[in-house]
């Protein structure tokens, strides 16, 4: 016992004295490169979310093209998590212990992010990603940051937008039975109850549903004035179509698991979406407008063909991913010419009112606030079918 204590003390002293620890803090950093791990679902049924990995990657390539940060260029190592915990841990361990990356970026899958969290904390590896589970950064974990909206911000934005219409009080929730959907709709439900609304019911609609009759008729029978749909795109489309089919006039607010433009286009019925379907909106302006043009150009220029959509312009998932890259790079810019993990973390925590150029809110971190953004807008089609960004019900964002 005594002996082992002495041994540990000696080992600790040795570790402090040796350059190994310093090197560890600068793992992934050489004189000319910074190695970043990009973890995401490149296979499996969540692969549809991998644009969230390519958005930040495009920004890193853009920065490299401009000469990098303090003379260093970013080098990305991709790793497939398949959105499966066992595989995700293997992927993260490979990034950390074999590829020796500085940090992990990307990682849209909450389950994998939660599973690797203990390891990240043990090794002090920085993490910045779009995974929506608020538990990743609340309570604050020393090296983990959300520069995108978690389920709490998005869920409250969904509920908040619905309630900003004074005529809406009775709300029904339709959701998948998975962690992603509950991550949005649990906070949304709490928000409604706290702010004078009424949650009539929480209805399940599972992945792979081919029909939303039951759900639509329940919404209709209960007389809901609004529906919050924590659904992925295919099921959201089915719900919108079937609500329309049964003449349900309720406002529908979707979650961020669907692409707004594609959803509207694929519902293929103006009456089902005009002045009726809304989504929380993460961006400062409409996609496709000049304010966000530089990002569209960036995606098209720096991403390879198989990293972009088969047809059409980059979808909103690319834009939603890009702030992760922007804020990561800003951390390195502020960390100075000889970055270390401590310096990068301190640099991120020093960010105040930082405009990413794409998000609706400015980014502000502090020592005990690792979620950088909160304000969201809403997007929808107005009565004439024109896509509009709203700050609240009936209040379009000035263009």
Q: Which spans of this chain sit near other proteins (rule: CB under 8 A)?
A: 42-45, 47-51, 78-80, 82-87, 89-91, 93-94, 96-98, 111, 114-115, 118, 133, 177-179, 181-183, 203-211, 213-215, 217-218, 220-221, 233-234, 237-238, 245-247, 259, 262, 266, 268-269, 309-310, 315
Q: Which is nearer to other proteins, 23 or 366 (CB)?
A: 23
Helix (H) or strand (E) holding 6: helix 2-17
- The minimum distance between CB 125 and other proteins, in angstroms, equals 12
Q: Which residue in 271, 123, 100, 248 sits closest to 174, CA to CA?
A: 248
Q: Which is nearer to other proteins, 52 or 162 (CB)?
A: 52
Q: Which is nearer to other proteins, 78 or 165 (CB)?
A: 78
131 bridge partner residues = none
Residue ranges of alpha helices (H) inside 137-212 are 151-163, 179-194
Q: Which is nearer to other proteins, 70 or 207 (CB)?
A: 207
- The minimum distance between CB 260 and other proteins, in angstroms, equals 12
- The minimum distance between CB 234 and other proteins, in angstroms, equals 4
Q: Which is nearer to other proteins, 132 or 381 (CB)?
A: 132
- The minimum distance between CB 307 and other proteins, in angstroms, equals 9
Strands 33-40, 73-80: pairing kind: parallel
- The minimum distance between CB 111 and other proteins, in angstroms, equals 5
- The minimum distance between CB 56 and other proteins, in angstroms, equals 15
Q: Which is nearer to other proteins, 215 or 388 (CB)?
A: 215
Strands 170-175, 226-230: pairing kind: parallel
Give long-range contacts, CB 8 A cutoff, 24+ apart: 312-316.
313/287, 313/288, 314/51, 315/51, 315/259, 315/261, 315/262, 316/259, 316/260, 316/261, 316/282, 316/283, 316/287
Asked if residue 37 lies in contact with residue 101, where contact means CB atoms within 8 angstroms, the answer is yes
Residues 6+ apart with CB under 8 A from 279: 253, 254, 255, 256, 258, 260, 263, 378, 379, 380
User: 202 preceded by cis ω (within 30°)?
Assistant: no
């Amino acid at each position: 016992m005594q002996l082992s204590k002495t041994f540990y003390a000696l080992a600790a002293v040795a570790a402090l004295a040796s350059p190994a620890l310093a090197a560890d803090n600068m793992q992934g950093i050489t004189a000319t490169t910074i190695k970043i791990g990009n973890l995401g679902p490149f296979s499996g049924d969540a692969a549809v979310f991998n644009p969230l990995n390519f958005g930040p990657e495009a920004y890193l390539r853009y920065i490299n093209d401009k000469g990098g940060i303090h003379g260093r260029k970013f080098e990305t190592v991709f790793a497939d998590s398949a959105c499966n915990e066992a595989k995700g841990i293997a992927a993260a361990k490979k990034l950390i212990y074999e590829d020796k990356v500085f940090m992990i970026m990307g990682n849209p899958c909450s389950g994998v992010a939660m599973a690797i969290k203990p390891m990240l904390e043990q090794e002090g590896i920085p993490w910045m990603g779009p995974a929506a589970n608020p538990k990743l950064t609340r309570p604050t974990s020393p090296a983990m940051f959300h520069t995108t909206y978690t389920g709490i911000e998005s869920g409250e934005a969904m509920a908040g937008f619905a309630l900003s219409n004074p005529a809406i009080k009775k709300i029904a929730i339709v959701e998948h039975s998975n962690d992603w959907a509950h991550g949005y709709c649990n906070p949304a439900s709490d928000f409604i109850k706290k702010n004078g609304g009424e949650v009539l019911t929480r209805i399940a609609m599972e992945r792979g549903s081919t029909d939303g009759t039951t759900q639509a008729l329940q919404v209709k029978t209960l007389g809901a004035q609004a529906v919050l749909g924590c659904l992925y795109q295919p099921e959201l489309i089915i719900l919108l179509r079937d609500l329309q089919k049964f003449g349900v006039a309720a406002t529908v607010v979707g979650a961020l698991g669907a692409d707004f433009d594609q959803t509207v286009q694929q519902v293929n019925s103006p009456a089902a979406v005009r002045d009726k379907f809304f989504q929380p909106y993460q961006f400062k302006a409409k996609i496709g407008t000049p304010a966000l043009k530089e990002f569209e150009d960036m995606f098209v220029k720096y991403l390879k063909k198989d990293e972009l959509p088969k047809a059409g312009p980059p979808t909103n998932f690319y834009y939603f991913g890009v702030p992760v890259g922007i804020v990561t790079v800003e951390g390195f810019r502020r960390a100075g010419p000889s970055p270390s993990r401590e310096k990068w973390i301190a640099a991120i925590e020093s960010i105040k009112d930082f405009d990413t150029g794409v998000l609706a809110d400015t980014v502000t971190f502090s020592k005990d606030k690792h979620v950088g953004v909160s304000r969201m807008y809403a997007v929808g089609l107005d009565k004439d079918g024109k896509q509009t960004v709203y700050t609240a019900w009936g209040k379009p964002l000035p263009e």
